[in-house]
Amino acid sequence: MKKTSKDFIILLLGELFPQITRDKDMVTNQRLREDLNLDSLDMINLQLAIEDRLHYKFDPLENNLAEVFESVESVASFLDYIGFPNNS
């Protein structure tokens, strides 16, 4: 079965933050700050992990990071936009 961008981000969240469930149905619609309680440092760690794993560099001048990192769904949509899984 092919790994989707949602699968990737949920697994990555689970690796970085063990307190977050890896249940796709429970996490998919969650907001990163409000629902999953990620703070600013957590968000930076998530961004860096994505950059490292996908060999992609976020550009704060081109990418609205507040929108990209709003929810699991918004991160997955952005990953699809940049060509996931072709970058993995």
* Alpha helices (H) in the chain, listed in sequence order: 5-16, 24-27, 40-54, 65-68, 72-81
CB atoms within 10 A of CB 1: 4
66 burial via Cβ count (<10 Å: 0-12, 13-18, 19+): exposed
pLDDT averages per 10-residue partition of the chain, 88 residues: 86 91 78 94 97 94 94 96 74
Q: What is the pLDDT of residue 19?
A: 87
Q: Which two tokens stand for residue 62?
A: 């081109």
Look at residue 82 and give its three-state secondary structure.
coil
Q: pTM, whole model, 2 decimals?
A: 0.88
Tokens of 50: 């994505």
> What pLDDT does residue 88 have?
44
